[in-house]
Structure 1
């Protein structure tokens, strides 16, 4: 299976996005990480790395909320022993799409990333 990691500048935002996506995830390993090491707003490459290592599934599709989360996720992925990619997707809608696709027995890291990125084309109105 393919795992999903949500990276946000806010721990609570990451937890909330995971909560919503998990409703669609079935047995998919989905986790969230957010906030700086002092509990404030920000992201941390070491914390992202720990979250990647804690996900039971490999490969992992990573969703990020803002620019510096991309930088820290890239740093963490460089040190990750498994395979991980960042999806260029809206974080909440992308996480839901990821969760659904990752639950498919035919899911691949590419299909899960593509599902996340397809969420950017969905109109809300």
Structure 2
């Protein structure tokens, strides 16, 4: 495991509130090849469908979380300020549908139509 990936995993375990969305995206770009992939988040009537190439930040984070067996809390930390400020700061908001749906259903309800990330 490289230094940047180790640093991120350390932060997710010990100081998750210090994790930045941009940091996560940089680590993913450094260590994985990304392919835009359709994915769904949630279940039944409470599901967000994301076409390939849309919501790529969420796609990368959810794929990274699955590949690295992250907990739901660690996965949310990967969204950085979008989760901590935009969602937690406005619990009744309607923005960031993927984060809000994920909070209700967790990683087990995120499904991909293919491999969004492949280790380099």
Q: Normalising by structure 1, what TM-score?
A: 0.26
Return the structure number with greater relative CO, CA threshold 8 A, min gap 6.
2
Question: Which protein is bigger by CA-based radius of gyration?
Answer: 2
Q: Normalising by structure 2, what TM-score?
A: 0.26
